[in-house]
Every structure is written in C-alpha cells, then in structure tokens.
Chains A and B, each alone.
Chain A
Amino acid sequence: MRQTVQNKITNLKALAKGSISNSIAKRSNRIVNDNLSKSIRTERDAKIFRKELSIAFKLAKE
C-alpha cells in the first residue's frame, strides 16, 4: 500500500480514536437477506464457500 494512502488511513484512525461519534446512522434500509445468504443454506455450504472464497482471494493476490 503506497504511503499517501497509508497516511490517510493513519489520519482516519487518529480521528476515530476516542471518538464520541455523533453519527447516528445505525443501519441501511436496504434488504439485508441478500442473495449470498439465500444461496448458503447449511453450515456445510458456508464452510465450502468460506474455503473457496479464501482460495479466490489468494489467487487474486498473485
């Protein structure tokens, strides 16, 4: 990650530290039972998906 972005992240963390955030948004009003959730029906489905997702991210980094 280049330094300019890292610097921005550092600044954001400083802003966040000890923040008494006045942000009152708690959630979005969008539908939360999304299609990914609908396609994962069991713990077994989830385990396979998590493993495949991990592999996909690893491949994406190559």
Chain B
Amino acid sequence: MIRIDLDDTFDATTASEDLKRFTFNSELKDNTNLELHVLISEHPDPLLPNVFNLAFGPLGEDNEIDDAIAVRHKNINKVFSTILLFAITFLEDNSDKQYSIGIDGSDERRAYLYHRMFRYNNDTLMDSIVTVGVDWYVKLLRNGTDIERDSDGLPLFKPRPEPFDLNRKARDLYRYYMFSLNN
C-alpha cells in the first residue's frame, strides 16, 4: 500500500524550466542510489490537447525512461510522494489551462497500484488534486441484444469519465485514471 505524504519527498536534483522533466535520487534496499527521471509529456493524440502522460523510472540503455523495470526502493512511499509532487507542481504552474494527467490502466499491475493509491490517499491528495476514473461503455442496440460494433466486429467502446468512486474496490479497476488540480 502506497502512503502519500507530500511533506516527505525527495529533493529534485534537476527540474526543467517548463516543469515537465525532473530528476531525483532514490535509495534502494541494497543501500545504493538510483537516479530516477520523471517526464510529463503531451498525450500524443492531437484530439486530447490538455491531457498529459506521466512517466518515471531510471534511464535505460537507450537513454529513455524505463518505466517497466522492477526497482526495490527503500522508501516507496517517498518515491511516489515525490513523483506526485512534481506532477502537482506542473499542474499548478499551468493552473489557468485545465490540464490533466492521465494514467493508462491497461497494465493490470499498474492500474491496481494507482487505484489503491488514489483510493486510500484521497484525504491527503484532495488538498491538491481531484481524480477521475474512466470506464469503457458500449451502446446497446434497439433490438435489445446486440451491441454497437466497429468494422472489425469488435465492441465499439467509448470512454465515460466519472469522479473517482472511493467505494469502488481494487477488484473493479477503472480502465484509465486522470487527475487535475483541485482549484
């Protein structure tokens, strides 16, 4: 369980002028230090102009963030608190623009972690951010049995956002998570 405490965060070692890129050091369980990079980037879909992606992790051999690598942090709570603080800083700096940060819940492990983090830290986080969960819905056709399908015959699902339901348990994950500044 991730416990967020925005008063207990690592210091940033670097921060880009646009507040989209940060680095900080995390101490690992083997007592070594690992530099972590945080990157807030525009969602690549031009139809989602005010949505940003959040990526974090060490640099891989290709000098890109490796967010899939398993890392044994000594203080995972502090790591996530730090990452969220950076994200909140970016949102606060753009508070006039209604930006939001999105997290794809298609990775089951990642969605489980974020769902529990947002659910159990809501009291702490709502001082700074509000969270929305997105489900996929499909239209029921008028014959009452068929659903709307695309040209490949697959269900034509559409996104439906709602305020994060705190009563919704982690076995009922959203498909996408988004948060924005609470202003």
**Residues of A bordering B, CB below 8 Å:** 1-2, 4-5, 8-9, 12-13, 15-19, 21-30, 32-37, 39-40, 43, 45-46, 49-50, 52-54, 56-57, 59-61
Cβ contacts under 8 Å, A60 to chain B: 130-132, 163-164
**A34–B21 CB distance below 8 A:** no
Q: Is the interface of A mostly helix, strand, loop or mixed?
A: helix
| Contact partner, B85, options A8, A35, A40, Cβ 8 Å | A8
- The answer to whether B92 has its CB under 8 Å from any CB of chain A is yes
Given contacts A25-B65, A53-B132, A60-B164, contact A40 B15 (CB under 8 A): no
**A8–B182 CB distance below 8 A:** no
Contact mask for chain B residues 26-60; partner A; CB cutoff 8 A; 1 contact, 0 none: 00000000000101010111011011010101011
Q: Which of B145-183 contact A (CB under 8 A)?
A: 157-164, 175-176, 178, 180, 182
